[in-house]
Amino acid sequence: MPGVIERFPLLFAPQRWNWAGVDGQFSTDNPPDELVTKVHVVGFDGDRIVLCRDARPVWFLPGGSREANEPLTECAARELLEEAGAVLHGPLHVIGAHLCVSDLPEPYRPHHPHPRQAWLWCYADVSVEAAPLNPADAEQVVEVRSVHLAEARELLLSDGLWYPELVDLAVELRATGTAPTI
């Protein structure tokens, strides 16, 4: 995709997640399946984007950690239900991934690769059909909204300056139909 790094400089800037002990760099390449530890989804509910909010209050895209031997699509579908009460319709389209290196002494979960890992970002058609499941061992979502792009971009700033660029890239890939599917 010509000029993607220049058009989305915040997305492609090196990132640090202190809470996870991880440094990451975004790439539009589809990472090897065995490196993927997290799957997140820009969920399109018609022309709106599904966002979740927890008690911090921080708005984020649904997604999370992959279970042992869990296929990527099943992880995305499970996370959408748990965090947004949303159902996945159709394939996942790969936006890209943060290729990460952990500085922690062991993996977050025993079945995750360590120290190298990938946090996969996808987009898909979804519909919000219920309240979030909010499993006891997961972050607790207190609000789910399906919002237009401008509001999504604004709300996602609460979780990081690069999130609006990720959503813009998802919108662009969706419009062109050029993203690979899982």
> Domain limits of the chain?
4-175
Q: Which residues pair with 53 in a beta bridge?
A: 59, 143
Check: CB of residue 29 under 8 Å from CB of residue 21. no
Alpha-carbon gap, residue 156 to 153, rounded angstroms: 5
pTM equals 0.96
Q: How many helices (H) and strands (E) does the chain have?
A: 5, 9
First to last CA, the chain: 19
Contact 149, 45 (CB under 8 A): no
Question: Cβ neighbours of residue 175 under 8 Å, at least 6 residues apart?
Answer: none
Contact of 128 with 50, CB cutoff 8 Å: yes
Classify strands 22-27 and 36-45 as parallel, antiparallel or unpaired: unpaired
Taking every pair of Cα atoms in the chain, the longest distance, rounded to a whole number of angstroms, is 44
d(CA 155, CA 164): 9
Per-residue pLDDT tens listing for the chain (182 residues): 679 999 999 999 999 999 999 999 999 999 999 999 999 999 999 999 999 999 888 999 999 999 999 999 999 999 999 999 999 999 999 999 999 999 999 999 999 999 999 999 999 999 999 999 999 988 899 999 999 999 999 999 999 999 999 999 999 999 999 999 99
Tokens describing residue 165:
């660029």
CA atoms of 105 and 36, how far apart (whole Å): 19
Task: Given CATH 3.90.79.10, say whether it is the number of domain 4-175.
Answer: yes
